[in-house]
Structure 1
Amino acid sequence: MANESSSSSASSTRILCASFNQDNSGFCVGTKDGFKIFDSETGRLCYQRAVGAFSIVEMLFSSSLLATVGAGEQPSLSPRRLCLFNTKTGKSLKELNFLTSILAVRVNRKRLIVLLQDKIYIYDYNSLAILDTIDTVPNTKGLCAFSPNMDGCFLALPASTTKGSVLVYNVMELHSHCEIDAHRSPLAAMVLSSNGVYIATASEQGTIIRVHVVSEATKSYSFRRGTYPSTIYSLSFGPSLQLPDILVATSSSGSVHVFSLASLINQRSKRSSSLLGSMFPDTVNDVFEPSHHHVLHNAVPAGVKSYAMIRSIEKISEESATYAAAFRASISIITYSGYFLDYSLSIDHLNESSWSLEREFNLLTVLAEDFTNS
């Protein structure tokens, strides 16, 4: 941990954006001074560019290609200009200019998606030809979710400003896929599983998190995060290409919530075999079942924006259907106050959980020291 004076100076350079790449092998942060790229496994600084403030930095897997947007503090870093940048050459490959500020960018090897407040532009990534534009409801927060998998490449957007409905768009085939009515209140967070099969959503109330099957636009699971409202900062599915084992959420309460989908499947299977269980809808019962919910309180300071990602899940063994399979998950958290935390979560066959903090360091301090000493 950095000493008090260095922590104080580092905190004055707050993080403006943070994102993991498509396979979670790396992550980048943007600050008032520039942007930095880290290796998720080791925490090693891989690249740093200190030329001004950035509001968006998106990686293309582990390649040298980035999509960046300035924060507007310098004329050369306009929030209306998207720059495709090569970290190996240190040069810009292409710039795209827009009439209004860019609020989000998503990319895979075939598509580049640029989100403005009320419009989406979809480009062919290689030729940068415009393939489609989508008029959207006002989306001032730039809220969206993206699944980079070619076979299930979806973009999810708010479909309403007054309720929590979601528009799911197929960006490979360029057509609207479905609309999902997820919540009564407007959306605050959403995420697609990497293969595009599931979508998780939270409303501005933040008390209930719902998971839907995208292909059927049906609600599959509902989870109660808590009784009192809280702002959900991030949602993340586990990396499994089948049913994700767990879903993790961070919120303004400072807690990290993990919901075990595997545990819930076993509970649902047992309940549906009983007469009483078959009389009640699964989504009603699921909300009030606590056994699938694991909470780490005070993981980050309350009110500090945070972004969590499930880096890996290791199955310990398979047991009978009586209990969920035991596993250990590595959960990485970036706080916008400038810290990186790596937690290990173990859930045993009795569905009891234990947490341990494996790593913690100040991103801004480490960046400066590593860059100086390299």
Structure 2
Amino acid sequence: MNTHNPVISSKKSSRSNILCIKFNQDQGCFAVSHEYGFLVYNTNPFELRVNRTFDNSSSSGSGIGHIAMLHRTNYLALVGGGKTPKYPSNRLVVWDDLKRKNSLSIDFLNPILNVLLSRMRIIVVLKNHVAVYGFSSPPKKYAIYETIDNEHGIADLSTSYPHTATGAYSGASLSSSESLSSSSRMEKYQILAFPGRSVGQIQLVDISPAGQEKNLVSIIKAHKSKIRCLTLNRSGTMVASASETGTIIRVHSTHNTALLWEFRRGLDRAIITSMEFSHNDSKLAVLSDKNTLHIYDLSFVNEIQNASSDFTNFQKSHPSNRYHILGSLPLPIPVPNYFKSVWSFCSINTNKFHTDNSEDDSSLNDVGVVGWASNDSVIIVWKNKKLWEKYVIVERKAETNSEDPNSNSAWDLVRFSWKRLDGFDE
């Protein structure tokens, strides 16, 4: 087990708070925006690749409130924010980092709350609608979808093709741009998910050229309360969601809106701050404002129907979600649904790693963003602590009679390595 010492600087940060953290489409990189510009890091191994600082002496300011990467190309979507915004909060700018200048911009009447990019589309999330544009100059508006009040800018976009590493980050600058119109790169199927016009609903649309010609919209009645967090898998076949209550996570099929899984996070309310499917869709990582990371097994949905062995052998070789003991007992009275819930197969409260190093109690209420380094390792990037962490899923054999084929096994999350974010020290 790797127990790297954390890289901690004793100097105070010369930068203000991080304003936005977002992984790119394959989670191989992530971008961080702050009061003076933005940085781009390689996810694993962790490494600072790009550091852009804007001059805040001019009237335009320097703060970047929202950022989104276009895979590993030189294009990034930027929205002004912070104490001295570089751009108005209602203006989207596509930044060409190769030329170090704005490539295109779109102005709106209201503040922008989120931005999603693909090689063909620009999606802008506002409080009451989602706008879809073509990635061209000038941008062409394709569609606008109304939503319920979406003050958190909740939305996600799938990519339906395997990403190749051409145009990867190199040195201190972004790579030269990839062709946005190449036929070999065209997305044939791209699902956009966002809150619907009613409480608890998720709206799904295919924004690929073929999908927009059909103009089909699917509605999932996912929760009784407002949607607080949602995420799509890469292929756009599954969508996971949590409501403002934060006790239940549901996974639906995007093809027929069927409920595939219902998971229990806990009994008390919590805000689900980030969720992400693993690369092979076998697991779902869920992080809450209680700083607890849960991992749920999805392999039954994806693999058991095609498994060559029987279900018993399949269970022995895969992580298994937990169930309450009362849910399986033959009781003479009805058992509440709580005891029939499906729980994560492993979890960890990350607060135990942060208490000693935190400067104040507010860091314990930090907001983290999750991504997958591999199908068995999860990355968390924390806003307030400016910290990168890697957690690895490891098997823990039961201590009772290890030679017994029916012996149970459990799984643990282990903090494998951690580092402070470079680029924030004086």
Greater relative CO, 1 or 2 (CA 8 Å, sep 6+): 2
* CA deviation string 1:32-81 (max 9, x = no partner): 12110001122111111122211111111111111111106436421111
CA distance in 1, matches of 2:146, 2:86: 28
| Correspondence for 2:91 | 81
**CA displacement at 1:298 relative to structure 2:** 2.6
User: Are 2:31 and 2:40, in contact at CA under 8 Å, matched by a contact in 1?
Assistant: yes
What TM-score comes out, normalization by structure 2 length? 0.73
Q: What letter corresponds to residue 41 of structure 1 in structure 2?
A: N
What TM-score comes out, normalization by structure 1 length? 0.82
Q: What letter corresponds to residue 340 of structure 1 in structure 2?
A: W
Q: What letter corresponds to residue 156 of structure 2 in structure 1?
A: A
CA distance in 2, matches of 1:245, 1:120: 30
Aligned pair partner of 2:13 in 9, 12, 27: 9
Q: What letter corresponds to residue 128 of structure 2 in structure 1?
A: D
Helix, strand or coil: the match of 2:276? strand
Q: What letter corresponds to residue 367 of structure 1 in structure 2?
A: G
Aligned pair partner of 2:350 in 294, 298, 302: 298
Matched, 1:204 2:244: yes
CA distance in 1, matches of 2:279, 2:24: 13
Helix, strand or coil: the match of 1:74? coil
Q: What is the percent sequence identity of the aligned residues?
A: 24
| Correspondence for 2:415 | 357
**CA displacement at 1:109 relative to structure 2:** 0.9
Relative to 1, partners in 2 of residues 1:167 and 1:43: Cα closer, same or farther, differing over 3 Å? Answer: same
User: Are 1:167 and 1:176, in contact at CA under 8 Å, matched by a contact in 2?
Assistant: no
CA distance in 2, matches of 1:3, 1:335: 14
CA distance in 2, matches of 1:28, 1:335: 12
* CA deviation string 1:189-221 (max 9, x = no partner): 000111000000001111110000110111110
Q: Structure 1, unaligned stretches of length 5 or more?
A: 271-275, 278-283, 314-328
User: Are 1:250 and 1:257, in contact at CA under 8 Å, matched by a contact in 2?
Assistant: yes
Matched, 1:157 2:160: no
Relative to 1, partners in 2 of residues 1:289 and 1:117: Cα closer, same or farther, differing over 3 Å? Answer: closer
Q: More displaced, 14-23 or 136-145? A: 136-145
CA distance in 2, matches of 1:9, 1:29: 15
Q: How does 1:213-224 map to 2 (within 5 A)?
A: 213-224=253-264
Q: What letter corresponds to residue 108 of structure 2 in structure 1?
A: F
User: Are 1:308 and 1:333, in contact at CA under 8 Å, matched by a contact in 2?
Assistant: yes
**CA displacement at 1:347 relative to structure 2:** 4.0
| Correspondence for 1:64 | 74
| Correspondence for 1:256 | 293
Q: How does 1:177-188 map to 2 (within 5 A)?
A: 177-188=217-228
Helix, strand or coil: the match of 1:367? coil
CA distance in 2, matches of 1:287, 1:147: 32
**CA displacement at 1:2 relative to structure 2:** 5.4
**CA displacement at 1:168 relative to structure 2:** 0.8
**CA displacement at 1:368 relative to structure 2:** 4.0
CA distance in 2, matches of 1:351, 1:105: 42
User: Are 1:347 and 1:353, in contact at CA under 8 Å, matched by a contact in 2?
Assistant: yes
CA distance in 1, matches of 2:272, 2:50: 30
User: Are 2:347 and 2:413, in contact at CA under 8 Å, matched by a contact in 1?
Assistant: no
Q: What letter corresponds to residue 142 of structure 1 in structure 2?
A: G
RMSD: 2.7
| Correspondence for 2:382 | 335
- Specify which structure has the higher proportion of strand: 1
Higher-Rg member (1/2): 2
Matched, 1:170 2:171: no
| Correspondence for 2:126 | 116
Q: Structure 2, unaligned stretches of length 5 or more?
A: 1-5, 55-61, 161-186, 313-326, 329-336, 355-362, 398-407
| Correspondence for 1:18 | 21
